[in-house]
Amino acid sequence: MRALSRLPSWLLHAAAAAAIGSLTWLIFSRAFLNYDTLYGLIWGRDLAHGRTPDYEVTLAPTPHPLLEAVAVPVSWLGEDGGYTAMLALAMLAWGALVWGVFLLGRESFGWGAGALAAFVIATRDPFLSQAVRAYVDIPYLALIVGAGVL
């Protein structure tokens, strides 16, 4: 236990988020990229190749600049690698959201409240559904909760 206390806190938090995301991916192995995230990956690939993304394509989703910025380097992994990396990042964001809710609850009201809040978020269908479909809302929520923790 002493070895854990010597590690930087950010590393412990990142490991907790990764563990939660990995466990979710194992439990819900049918995770996939939804429409917005898939288009973000395509538009990120366009940007990586020096092309202007086609935002006027029929039924195009709303562009998300932060998603596209993340998708640029991810697109360098190729189609399958990029798809898998975006799923992995989505699961990491899910883990970060759940862990962040725990931390926010713990800092605000104590360990028990943090654990209960994280459990509630982690078991609600709307949140889980968006997480396993890699919706862009989950990473943004994780960033907001992370800001609240800081």
Distance, CA of 73 to CA of 103 (rounded, Å)? 30
For the chain, the domains span 9-149
Higher pLDDT, 12 or 6: 12
Residue 3 pLDDT class (50, 70, 90 cuts): low
Query: Which amino acid type is present at position 145?
Result: V
Is pLDDT at 131 greater than 80 in this prediction?
yes
pLDDT of residue 5: 67
Query: Which amino acid type is present at position 74?
Result: V
Least confident of 36-40, 58-62, 66-70, 142-146: 58-62
Residue 55 pLDDT class (50, 70, 90 cuts): very high
In the numeric block, the tokens 């998708």 are attached to 71
Is pLDDT at 1 greater than 60 in this prediction?
no
Distance, CA of 17 to CA of 71 (rounded, Å)? 20
Mean pLDDT of 105-123: 97
Is pLDDT at 6 greater than 80 in this prediction?
no
Q: What torsion, rounded to 10 degrees, do the Cα atoms 82, 87, 90, 91 define? A: -140
Please state the pTM of the whole predicted model. 0.91
